[in-house]
Amino acid sequence: MAPRVRAIRAALNGLDWTRDELDQNRDECLRELVQHAYDNVPYYRAAFDRAGLQPQQIQSSADIGRIPITTRADIQAAPGQFIASDARHTSLISHLSSGSRGMPVHTKRTLFEERILSGIRLRVLMRYGMRLTDKRASVSMEDAGDRPLASYIGFFGRTLIDAGMPPQDALRALCAARPDVIIAYPASLARLVEFITPEQRRRIQPRLITLGGEMVLTSFRRDIAECFQCPVRETYGATEANLIAWGCPVTGHLHIAEHSVIVEICKEDQPVAVGESGEAIITVLHSRAMPFLRYRLNDLVTRGPAPCPCGHPAATLIAVRGRTNDWFKLPDGRLLHPFVVSDSVMDHIPGLRRLQITQTSERELTIAIVPGQVLSAASLAEAEGKIAASVGYCFQIKLKTVQGLDRGPNQKFNPFVPLRDWGGGQ
């Protein structure tokens, strides 16, 4: 079957495929994509040759571990080596990743690939209950010129709201749009909740909210759901792949979009078990102009059951834990997962609304908090001691209360800021 026909079938029907259909599509796409990359993409031909690997040796996902892993650093070192020769003279759409991992990367796709990957995401929104005629508001950094094809014929009408604008300006824009569906960065929408008035809450009554683009903290989801009183769903994606996984309305797990992407979850390049966390390594099945084969995202995710307990056949993620370079480095060289600290902070600071943990030295963590109530100096000192004890006194803890927390220059909010001079990974 031609790759384009296979991609169209995946976009239209992939959410309803059986396990056998998902497996068949995955392996057929993988075989064809590997051969295409070897024949047309200089980087992959060189990588395969160095590894002594022939495309014919990759017949199914069971063989995928033989393919060398690709990193952002590889792309930044030679971006032109990743574009397929049969796409070089085609008008390609370019997306620049936000750079929130410290290494922005240009991703290039054909118009067909762009529509396929956007269509796969839209099908998920429709599964959540979005209608063709619904008005959408997107609170993000999205380029206003990047409109889905359907919007030109009157479907999926959309208002773009800059995530970096002042909160009251953004709220006025939402009031004017009165969207049925809000798609947003979680930190940006949670910040608006802090400023919303009762009148604005009455005017903004979405039927559905989806969150993505950055880590979805429990406090963000809670505050947003309490404010808008509608279903709040999480999606997990990346510029390189568009949608990777989508939240299950029944279990809260994330269904991997296996009709579009292969996700490996590895620790030290070995697969992890269910319930364990590891790095996400993706292979994008429907991108040929700039293929991504075993591409390391530097995202830390937790493997879930397969299939999902809800009955959907796809494998799942229990959680997206953030980036691997968000870990805090201990003085002895060991690494501390930031959730160990954030969970302790939430346990000991009642009514906490937002937090940001910054490693300011090898032995100190400074934690900025937006509390839900006034905290005395004594209660802050007591909490500092309890948090320090919860991490084995590896760090001195300094709590400071703030009125709000700023986003980075890319408009994404990073709740965990590691020590700058160790890097934490590629």
User: Which residue pairs from 335-342 have beta carbons closer than 8 angstroms and sit at least 24 positions apart in sequence?
Assistant: 336/391, 336/394, 337/277, 337/300, 338/415, 338/416, 340/390, 340/391, 341/365, 341/367, 341/387, 341/390, 341/391, 342/217, 342/415, 342/416
* CA dist 101 → 73, 364, 426 (Å): 12, 22, 9
Tokens of 83: 């574009």
pLDDT band at 148 (very low <50, low <70, confident <90, very high): very low
Strands 261-267 and 93-96, sheet pairing: unpaired
Window from 4-8, 134-138, 148-152, 301-305 with minimum mean pLDDT: 148-152
Q: In the beta sheet, which residues pair with residue 208?
A: 181
pLDDT at 34 over 90: yes
For residue 194, the model assigns a pLDDT of 87
| Mean predicted confidence (pLDDT) in 30-36 | 98
Spatial contact of 13 and 44, defined as CB atoms under 8 Å apart: no
| Mean predicted confidence (pLDDT) in 391-404 | 91
User: Other CB atoms closer than 10 Å to residue 245's CB: what's the count?
Assistant: 27
Question: How many angstroms separate the CA atoms of 321 and 337, rounded?
Answer: 9
| Mean predicted confidence (pLDDT) in 341-346 | 84
Spatial contact of 387 and 297, defined as CB atoms under 8 Å apart: no
Q: What is the pLDDT of residues 288-327, one digit of tens each?
A: 999 999 999 988 899 999 999 999 999 999 999 877 667 7
The pLDDT mean for the chain works out to 88
3 state DSSP class of 272: coil
| Mean predicted confidence (pLDDT) in 377-388 | 94
pLDDT at 423 over 70: no
Q: In the beta sheet, which residues pair with residue 363?
A: none
For residue 186, the model assigns a pLDDT of 87
pLDDT at 413 over 60: yes
For residue 241, the model assigns a pLDDT of 95
Spatial contact of 178 and 405, defined as CB atoms under 8 Å apart: no
pLDDT band at 249 (very low <50, low <70, confident <90, very high): very high
Spatial contact of 338 and 328, defined as CB atoms under 8 Å apart: yes
CATH 3.40.50.12780 for the 3-116+237-324 domain, yes or no: yes
CATH of domain 327-417: 3.30.300.30
pLDDT band at 426 (very low <50, low <70, confident <90, very high): very low
| Domain coordinates in residue numbering, the chain | 3-116+237-324, 327-417
Q: What is the pLDDT of residues 97-123, one digit of tens each?
A: 754 444 567 899 999 999 999 999 999
pLDDT at 407 over 90: no
The percent of residues in the chain predicted with pLDDT above 70, rounded, is 90
Most confident of 23-32, 105-114, 181-190: 23-32
Closest C-alpha to 224, from 236, 235, 216: 216
Greater confidence (351 vs 15) lies with: 15
Question: How many angstroms separate the CA atoms of 8 and 119, rounded?
Answer: 9
pLDDT at 224 over 50: yes
pLDDT band at 156 (very low <50, low <70, confident <90, very high): low
Residues in the chain: 426
pLDDT band at 92 (very low <50, low <70, confident <90, very high): very high
For residue 88, the model assigns a pLDDT of 75
The answer to whether domain 3-116+237-324 and domain 327-417 are alike in fold is no
| Mean predicted confidence (pLDDT) in 236-253 | 95
